[in-house]
Structure 1
Amino acid sequence: MVRRNDQRRAALVDAAIEVLAREGARGLTFRAVDAEAGVPVGTASNYFANRDDLLIQTGRRVYERLQPDEAVLTRHRTAARDRETYAQLMRELVDRVSAFRSGYLALLELRLEATRRPGLRGLLTEQVRADLQANVAYHEGTGLPGDATAVRLLYLALNWLIVEQLTLPDVLSEGEREQLVEAAVERLVTDAQ
């Protein structure tokens, strides 16, 4: 039996994220993952049962890496409960997700691949639904202005803003993107709950 360690698995999945972002789903092979991770050929096949397993674990890893760290969460818990704070949270979210460019691009590839792979679609559906529910629950628990519909609308709007920023970065300037985040909060988030 092959001894599998968690660090090696994480390195392989992180390599898969990079391959997906750079080469797309068609370029995601065990050999490409091995090369990206700098491990001997055949290593990835010892860690993943098949390509579906690799795709699913890659999807999980992207979401793990997109989570804010405890310092960010602590700062948010102690911030004011107004629209300006809300706008700042959304700007930070866009910046954090955009900073993990390869992860978000890999996630887009995974979403496209999920249209053809029911197991991956199930994982991504479950993950996105859980994240959206967690965002609504967090929002409601913090007393920020607005309601669950505003959270969902911001989720949809900001996701496309991030796609635009990562795939066609010259369409909007950084200043325009920031103004759009603020305008989205201004228009979608009301003080009445």
Structure 2
Amino acid sequence: MRQNPARRTALLDAAIEVLARDGSRGLTLRAVDTQAAVPTGTASNYFTNRADLLAQVMRRTRERLTPDPAALADTMTAPPSRDLAVTLMREIVERMRRDRSSHLALLELRLEATRRPELHAELTRFLAADLAANIDFHVGAGLPGDRRAVVLLYLAMFGLIVEDLTVPGVLAPHRPDTLIEDLVTRLLPPTP
């Protein structure tokens, strides 16, 4: 198995684009080679099989969607409040809009996991760990709301993101930025 990290990352980024554009059925090692503009067979030197590719794509999406630490540190200089929570939620949507492919690829992975038990187990662990980390971050930052409120906010934001990714016209008249503010106001208690 090849160990060139830059090539592996390029192949994973190509796989994310293929998955986002063509769906799970279009994701083949050959399609990844084509998207990455590398010789046929290159992806098969980096991934043992399609299941391995899917698992690595899942991890790569996390890398791509993780906020820039410096930008997050700058945002977190604001005092813990609903306003800061609104800013954080808006930043999530901005990251989604900048990297639609990673979010669409994750949606495709969710669908594929309904048909593949091994992927289902791994994706469940992956998403559960992300949710737990988000809850810990929120609570640890002193933002308003308890752990349950953060789960509700996660679910509401997931729905907003899916709509914005797939059928943005549905929420356009309701102004997603305003919806985010309403979600935070309704789900998180006022700052004392």
Number of equivalent positions? 192
The AA in structure 1 aligned to 2:78 is A
Aligned twin of 2:86: 87
Could you give the per-residue CA deviations for residues 107-139 of structure 1, whole angstroms, max 9, x where no partner exists? Answer: 100111111222221221111111111111111
In the alignment, the residues of structure 2 paired with residue 30 and residue 18 of structure 1 have an alpha-carbon distance, to the nearest angstrom, of: 13
Question: Which deviates further from its counterpart, 34-43 or 68-77?
Answer: 68-77
In the alignment, the residues of structure 1 paired with residue 31 and residue 130 of structure 2 have an alpha-carbon distance, to the nearest angstrom, of: 30
Point out where structure 2 has 5 or more consecutive residues left out of the alignment: none
* Superposition pairs of residues 170-181 of structure 1, within 5 angstroms: 170-173=169-172, 176-181=175-180
TM-score using structure 1 length: 0.94
User: Does the alignment pair 1:41 with 2:27?
Assistant: no
In the alignment, the residues of structure 1 paired with residue 103 and residue 26 of structure 2 have an alpha-carbon distance, to the nearest angstrom, of: 17
% same residue? 57
TM-score using structure 2 length: 0.95
- Seen in structure 2, the aligned counterparts of structure 1 residues 24 and 16 have a Cα distance that, compared at 3 Å, is same
Aligned twin of 1:183: 182
In the alignment, the residues of structure 1 paired with residue 118 and residue 71 of structure 2 have an alpha-carbon distance, to the nearest angstrom, of: 32
Question: Which deviates further from its counterpart, 106-115 or 164-173?
Answer: 164-173
Could you give the per-residue CA deviations for residues 78-130 of structure 1, whole angstroms, max 9, x where no partner exists? Answer: 11111111111111111112321011011100111111222221221111111
The AA in structure 2 aligned to 1:90 is M
Task: Give 1:192 deviation, angstroms.
Answer: 7.2
Q: Which runs of 4+ in 1 moved over 6 A?
A: none
Task: Give 1:163 deviation, angstroms.
Answer: 0.8
Task: Give 1:73 deviation, angstroms.
Answer: 2.2
Task: Give 1:74 deviation, angstroms.
Answer: 0.8
Aligned twin of 2:161: 162
In the alignment, the residues of structure 1 paired with residue 138 and residue 168 of structure 2 have an alpha-carbon distance, to the nearest angstrom, of: 29
In the alignment, the residues of structure 2 paired with residue 138 and residue 74 of structure 1 have an alpha-carbon distance, to the nearest angstrom, of: 12
Aligned twin of 1:113: 112
